[in-house]
Amino acid sequence: MPCNLFSSCYSTLLFSIILFFSLSSAQDPSLAPVTPENACNSTPYPDFCKSVLPRNGSANIYDYGRFSVRQSLSAATQISTLINQYLGSLLPLSTTVLEVLKDCQLLADLNVDFLLSSANSLSSTKPLLSLQVNDVQTFLSATLTNQQTCLDELQTFASAWSAKIGIYTPLSNGIKLYSVSLALFTRGWVHKNGKVKGRKLMFDDQEMGQHGRLPLIMSSHNRHIYDVSRRKLLQTTTPDVLVRDVVVVSQDGSGNFTSINDAIAAAPTNTKANKGYFLIYVVAGIYEEYVTIAKNKKNLMIIGDGIDQTVITGDRGVVDGWTTFNSATLAVVGQGFVAVNITVRNTAGAIKHQAVAVRNGADMSTFYSCSFEGYQDTLYTHSLRQFYRECDIYGTVDFVFGNAAAVFQDCNIYARLPMQGQFNALTAQGRTDPNQNTGISIHNCKIMAAPDLASSNGTTRSYLGRPWKEYSRTVYMQSFIDSFIDPTGWREWSGDFALSTLYYAEYSNTGPGAVTADRVTWPGYHEINDTDAADFTVSNFVVGDYWLPATGVPYSGGLL
């Protein structure tokens, strides 16, 4: 019988290869061997785990972790190939199914990238740096998110597709395998308190640009700089931000491009942070285009003329046949993306239900002084590590959602007036696995009613969040919460789903809506102390000290 991904001959062969390289490089040589049963009991899928791990009397948790990540990489490669086969087949596909498969193809290809990077990190003979440990945990968390997104879309938008089962089963098995890999990695490389093991990373260990503060005003008195030398823009205004080139987008033809997408297409691919940002300056105007930052457009910076001055707008919504994932006006995947002084809108309106303004799946991405405007599902913080500073976010139902590790700092979060009969849920965090290092941290923000909600008759109920997925995690810290928030604070998703597995917390908030006397009494709800709150700061939750300085965006690393 030929070997395949889940056959015993494949497992034995692959394990022998991984074990050969890992015996000399285990992170803790004194760690005693463990049985597959012992290793698998710490995972969410013990039986599945035991069916995958080979029996070897000398293997430790690191060996099993490396082995399972390699198997996950093989599974992701097979899934990507399978999806491409469906897309390339001559079988007729509806427009909706085709869109779902394209989304799944993008996500599967990203999983191959993340797992290859993780496997390469774990194959190193040197102890992992602390940032490398966080990288791997982040990438493994994202593979689960990507796979779950594809599964969700198949169930929601392609439920009637007759061939769905052919792809659904491999995806479901992949979820289990990725979860096992994340659990084994977490047990081996991550402390129980969530802090990483491994050698501490010093700043000169990582290739980073210089760091400083970005200016908020990029036009008027600075615009003449473009006529003299585009390359000198930030050298003149902020010498500490490293920029490799600058192009200008202007609708009147006075710049290098008239559309944002054309400027992005001209950006170099796969640039490293130490080479500087490719900066796209977008002159004030309303840009009716759907903007995509692909995975190979790394370290791209877009700066506009200010909120409500430089506006990117679209109107895609689920009611019109778009998937939630693909309804975004601005979709970001390329690592190291920075946006400043831009408004992004989805004008589909509440009647079109899910209609995303920004979908962000870019690692180490930053939005500074931006505005996100929509109704349901405005800001899709899809995956990986993200930071938002001094931004305005408008919406109604679940309008900050997704499964990234995302920190919002000094932002204004505005609840709008929803459709009749709807309630507002500010957040709907989508953590599906207890070992994912994801969640929403809202720090020193203002939680307020938008003018339309504030002037209504007051019958709309608004909540801090509700659990989209089983391990949903959201924390409000040192923020102002106005009186429009319901005294219970939080809303269930459906019955008692996730109420004991979620993690919702509040810390040192102020304002009439911050009173916790009548808050929900769910097992997963907490009022936390300084020590617990520190875990959700910029420095700890998204390891911001390692990547935010190069952006020039200001931030507070700890509690205030």
CA gap 260, 86 in Å, rounded: 32
Cα 547 to chain centroid, rounded: 15
Whether 262 is a known active-site residue: answer no
Classified as helix, coil or strand, 481 is strand
Task: Compute the C-alpha angle 424/429/431, nearest 5°.
Answer: 155
Tokens read off for 112: 């191959």
Q: What one-letter code names the amino acid at 532?
A: D
Q: Which of 63, 398, 410, 433 is catalytic?
A: 398
Tokens read off for 123: 């194959």
Q: Looking up tokens 């019958």, which residue turns up?
A: 459
Domains annotated on the chain, with CATH: 29-189 (1.20.140.40), 224-551 (2.160.20.10)
Exposure of 461 by Cβ count < 10 A (0-12 exposed, 13-18 middle, 19+ buried)? Answer: middle
- H/E stretch holding 453 reads helix 451-454
Sign of the torsion angle spanned by Cα atoms 259, 261, 262, 264: positive
Q: What is the pLDDT of residue 512?
A: 98
Candidates 85, 69, 68, 49; CA nearest to 117 is: 69
In this structure, the number of other CB atoms found within 10 A of the CB of residue 460 comes to 21
Q: What is the pLDDT of residue 91?
A: 77
Cβ–Cβ under 8 Å, residues 553 and 277: no
Tokens read off for 488: 């219970």
Cβ–Cβ under 8 Å, residues 316 and 355: yes
Q: What is the pLDDT of residue 27?
A: 45
Residue 285 Rama label (left phi>0; alpha psi -120 to 50; beta): left
- From residue 422, alpha-carbon distances to 53, 397, 400, 451, 452 in Å are 48, 8, 16, 17, 15
Helices 130-157, 164-189: crossing angle, 10 deg rounding: 160
CA gap 89, 84 in Å, rounded: 8
CA atoms in the 13 A half-sphere facing the CB of 43 = 30
Q: What is the pLDDT of residue 192?
A: 56
Which stretches does DSSP call E strand in 369-464?
371-373, 379-381, 385-389, 392-395, 397-402, 405-409, 412-415, 424-429, 439-443, 446-449, 462-463
Ordered per-residue pLDDT tens for the chain, 560 residues: 334 443 444 444 444 434 433 443 344 543 678 899 999 999 999 999 999 998 877 888 999 999 999 999 999 999 999 999 999 887 788 889 999 999 999 999 999 999 999 999 999 767 788 899 999 999 999 999 999 999 999 999 888 887 777 898 999 999 999 999 999 999 999 865 555 554 444 333 333 333 345 554 444 334 433 433 343 444 444 446 899 999 999 999 999 999 999 999 999 999 998 899 999 999 999 999 999 999 999 999 999 999 999 999 999 999 999 999 999 999 999 999 999 999 999 999 999 999 999 999 999 999 999 999 999 999 999 999 999 999 999 999 999 999 999 999 999 999 999 999 999 999 999 999 999 999 999 999 999 999 999 999 788 999 999 999 999 999 999 999 999 999 999 999 999 999 999 999 999 999 999 999 999 999 999 999 999 999 999 999 999 999 999 999 999 999 99
Q: What is the pLDDT of residue 191?
A: 67
Q: What is the pLDDT of residue 19?
A: 44
